[in-house]
Amino acid sequence: MDESVMEEKMKGKKWLLIFLGISVGILLVGKLYHDFQPQIQMLIRGHFTQSELIKSVRSHGLEDGMVLIGLTAIMYAIPGLSSSIVCIFNGLCYGPVLGTTINWIGNLLGNILVWMTLSQIKLSDRTKKSKLLDDLLQFKYPMMGLILGYMIPFIPSFLVNFAANQMKVKFSKLIGVIGIGILPSAVIYAVGGDAILKGDNQRAVIVISCIVILVGLYVIIRKKRKIVK
C-alpha cells in the first residue's frame, strides 16, 4: 500500500478515536449534570451551610464514581485535554481516600487507552523529535524516566506512552510503572479537591506546593542532563 495512503488512514483513525472519545465524554458529563442537579440548585439558591453542602456533595455513590472514573480516563487520553479538573472534582465529591482511588483507576485506564491507541495512529515527525521525548528515551535508568514522565502533570501522556512503546516495555511491567507514576498526582488532586470543599486554605497551599515541587524536580533533572551532555 502507498505510504501516503497509509498515512491518511492513520490520520483518519486518529480523528475518529478523538471524536468517539469526546462524544463519550459529553455523554458522561450529561449524566453527571443530571445526577448533580440537587447540588447545582443548592448553589444557585445560595441558602446552605458548609456542612449541608458537604453532606449533599458526598451523598453520591458507586454509580457516579464509575462515571467519574470513565470521564477521568477519557480526559486523560484525549490529546490537548487534561484530567486535572476532573481529578480535583473527584476529591471534592468523594474525599481524599476514595477520590485518590477514582483518580488512580481513571488515570491508569487513560494511560492504557493511550498505549493501545498508539499502535493505531502515526505520530508526526515533529512529535517524534520532541526534547521531552528525547529526555525520556535517553534517561540513564529507563524505568525511572518513565515513572517521572507519568508523575509530572504537564508532560503529555501520549509522549510518555510512546516512549514506553519505543523501549518495548512489557505490558505487565508497564502497569506497575504507570501505577507508581500516577499515584502522587492522584493523591495531590484528591486532597486538593477535599480542601476546596472544606475551605481548608492551608491544605490547598500545601497541594499547590507539591505540584510546584514535582515540576521543579523535572526541571532540575533536565538541567543536570544538559550539563552532562
What is the average pLDDT across 23-38? 94
Region of poorest pLDDT, from 9-13, 20-24, 54-58, 151-155: 9-13
**Residue 162 near residue 123, CB atoms below 8 Å:** yes
Task: Please state the pTM of the whole predicted model.
Answer: 0.84
Each domain of the chain, given as residue ranges in start order, spans 3-228
Report the mean per-residue pLDDT for the chain. Answer: 83
SS3 string of 75-125?
HHHCCCCCCHHHHHHHHHHHHHHHHHHHHHHHHHHHHHHHHHHCCCCCCCH
Spatial distance between the Cα atoms of 83 and 73, rounded to a whole number of angstroms: 8
pLDDT in tens, 183-210: 999 999 999 999 888 888 888 788 888 8
